[in-house]
């Protein structure tokens, strides 16, 4: 006869190792900040080989920009243009901006997914300061990549003004250089009173042409109550200005984003990590570019951090 042995198996459940929303973005911010530096050989007299980390920071130290000014080389290495069309017989039309946030993902506006005239977004171009210069002349600076997926936020509806945010996934990873590297994401409501907007949009509302050079401007961040006075409830904004939006501009007029700036970043300069921007908002829409009492609306990045992290860093 054989006796029967009964084994009791005790399952030990380990706590989830998933990081809280926001912490992934902060960790990646620190990781990507390493791209500020390049490794160069120490040319000292020592016979041994030594290498130094050399900063390639291009951020201008004066944070306040009076009026629109031209951006400088390496100042906004996360900025990218979004191109539409590009059939064999036509050039790409660069109509929206975006921000590099990882090796393969960029942040932009949902309404930039396609152009009524040129069709869906096809490519992104990074490291570009001047549209009047052939990108082939800047092969060591400019990077152009094909869009694999344009991921519009699931709650965005083109007939409404809410949830105007999207992620662009690229076919291939971007090579980080002093001219092209990611920005950080703002994970909490900012206490800053000003942000910097950039883009190739119109510099004059009456002009038919967009700017040929990347422009920057400092804008006041305006509280929701004040902003609601300029954006009353209407069929496309039934709830008025909500927490998923940020209002920015200069109420005295003269400084603003305009047509062609859509999808580009509203950002602040971080003190830590060194030489990094944090994307606070995504340029969405406005009423009258640069007019007095006419601020613009930006999609509030911190509101959408869970969706962004689940899409970009879902395996972390």
Would you call 111 a catalytic residue per the annotation? yes
Would you call 42 a catalytic residue per the annotation? no
Q: How many residues does the chain have?
A: 316
- Residues in a beta bridge with 286: 296
What is the residue-wise DSSP string for 269-292? E-SSSTT-EEEEEEEEEESSTT-T
Angstrom distance (rounded) from CA 223 to CA 245: 10
Angstrom distance (rounded) from CA 300 to CA 283: 9
Q: Hey, which bits of 175-242 come out as E strands? A: 184-185, 194-199, 215-222
For residue 135, give both structure tokens.
Answer: 């990108």
| Marked catalytic residue, from 102, 211, 262, 284 | 262
> Which residue in this structure is represented by tokens 């629109």?
68
Would you call 136 a catalytic residue per the annotation? no
| Marked catalytic residue, from 33, 99, 164, 284 | 164
For residue 63, give both structure tokens.
Answer: 């944070």
| Marked catalytic residue, from 25, 111, 256, 294 | 111
What positions carry a catalytic annotation?
111, 164, 262
């Amino acid at each position: 006869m054989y006796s029967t042995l009964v084994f009791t198996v005790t399952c030990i459940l380990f706590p989830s190792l998933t990081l809280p929303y926001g912490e992934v973005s902060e960790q990646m911010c620190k990781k990507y900040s390493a791209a500020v530096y390049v490794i160069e050989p120490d040319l000292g007299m020592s016979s041994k080989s030594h290498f130094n980390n050399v900063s390639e920071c291009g951020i201008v130290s004066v944070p306040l920009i009076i009026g629109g000014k031209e951006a400088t080389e390496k100042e906004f290495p996360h900025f990218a243009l979004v191109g539409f069309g590009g059939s064999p017989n036509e050039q790409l039309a660069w109509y929206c901006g975006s921000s590099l946030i990882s090796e393969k993902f960029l942040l932009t506006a949902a309404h930039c997914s396609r152009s009524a005239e040129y069709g869906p977004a096809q490519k992104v171009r990074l490291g570009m300061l001047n549209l009047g210069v052939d990108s082939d002349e800047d092969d060591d600076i400019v990077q152009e990549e094909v869009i694999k997926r344009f991921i519009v936020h699931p709650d965005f509806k083109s007939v409404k003004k809410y949830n105007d945010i999207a992620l662009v996934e690229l076919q291939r990873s971007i090579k980080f250089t002093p001219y092209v590297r990611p920005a950080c994401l703002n994970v909490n409501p900012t206490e800053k009173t000003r942000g910097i907007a950039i883009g190739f949009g119109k510099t004059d509302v009456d002009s038919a042409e967009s700017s040929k050079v990347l422009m920057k401007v400092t804008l006041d961040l305006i509280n929701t109550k004040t902003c609601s006075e300029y954006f009353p409830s209407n069929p496309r904004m039934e709830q008025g200005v909500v927490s998923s939006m940020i209002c920015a501009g200069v109420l005295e007029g003269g400084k603003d984003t305009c047509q062609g700036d859509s999808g580009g970043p509203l950002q602040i300069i971080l003190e830590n990590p060194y030489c990094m921007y944090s994307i606070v908002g995504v340029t969405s829409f406005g009423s009258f570019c640069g007019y007095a009492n006419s601020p613009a609306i930006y999609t509030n990045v911190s509101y959408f951090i869970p969706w962004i992290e689940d899409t970009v860093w879902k395996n972390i």
